[in-house]
Amino acid sequence: MPATPTDHHCQPQQSQSEASRAGWRKAIPRVIAAIVILCIAVSLFLPHSLTSHITSVTQALRNLGPLGWLIFITAEAVVALVGILPASLLGMAAGAVYGVTLGFITSALGIFIGAIIAFALSRSLARPLIVNLAGRRAKLASLDQRLAQDSWRLVALLRVSPVMPFSLTSYVLGLSGITLRAYIIGTMASLPALLGYVAIGKLGGTSLSSESHIRTALLILGAGATLALTIHLSRLLSRALATA
């Protein structure tokens, strides 16, 4: 049966629409990656003297009452999402202004909101590309399967280790087959370090001995997690290659 003029007219429009969607799917992950890399680069050059300024702004937000509290949580979520500032700075500011208990709860809420948004963005926008690549490469498919099976353990080690920035880790984990439930459970491993930074902010230099002990504990915890992460990733990679 010969094609009607309508059929000929629809086919080019459909192909153009599909090409446009494919172009956006390729462009969006690149834009996100560029933003994250830029924010991380900026954060490396920002002086830690910003702590006093951040604390002043946080104090002003507290004077606004519940509205200021919500604004601070939003700011913490943005930091966890794009990584333009170390989350530890806001944690210390929260401790200095809100105290240990409320400061910890406030920072934890903001960090988890930002972490979940980053994971969801990476999972929805860039994960299909990984799935397509894994379908053509047995080694990548095997590694992706291993990561999904390893679940929350890998997430926990990545969160405790200071090797990768928090925001970048969120996007990378979104590319893997790790479930959202395992991601949230593993991200809870970052809470002890956050509590330490909030406590340092509360001390505010009034107890140099206690502050020094907390920083030493955080350093030991991060070093131990980095060593465990290195061993763990080596085992996962070797098993994935063997399976492939």
> What average pLDDT does the chain have?
75
User: Cα–Cα distance between 194 and 79 in angstroms, integer?
Assistant: 14
Q: Residue 102: what residue type?
A: L
* CA-to-CA separations, 118 to 84, 123, 156, 244, in angstroms, rounded: 14, 8, 17, 30
In-domain check, residue 18:
no
pLDDT at 107: 93
In-domain check, residue 147:
yes
* Tokens (6 digits) for 19: 């090409």
- Could you list the residue range(s) of the whole structural domain that residue 86 is in? 25-243
Higher pLDDT, 143 or 125: 125
- Arithmetic mean of pLDDT, 12-34: 57
Express each pLDDT in 162-195 by its tens digit: 877 888 888 888 888 788 899 999 999 999 999 9
In-domain check, residue 11:
no
Express each pLDDT in 94-139 by its tens digit: 888 898 999 999 999 999 999 999 898 888 876 666 555 545 555 5
Provide the whole-model pTM: 0.69
In-domain check, residue 9:
no
In-domain check, residue 1:
no
User: Cα–Cα distance between 53 and 34 in angstroms, integer?
Assistant: 27
In-domain check, residue 141:
yes
In-domain check, residue 8:
no
In-domain check, residue 233:
yes
* Tally of structural domains, the chain: 1
* Listed range (16-30, 45-59, 211-225) with the worst mean pLDDT: 16-30
- 218 pLDDT band, cuts 50/70/90, is confident
What DSSP designation does 65 have? T
Distance of CA 25 to the CA centre of its chain: 21
Q: Does residue 49 surpass a pLDDT of 70?
A: no
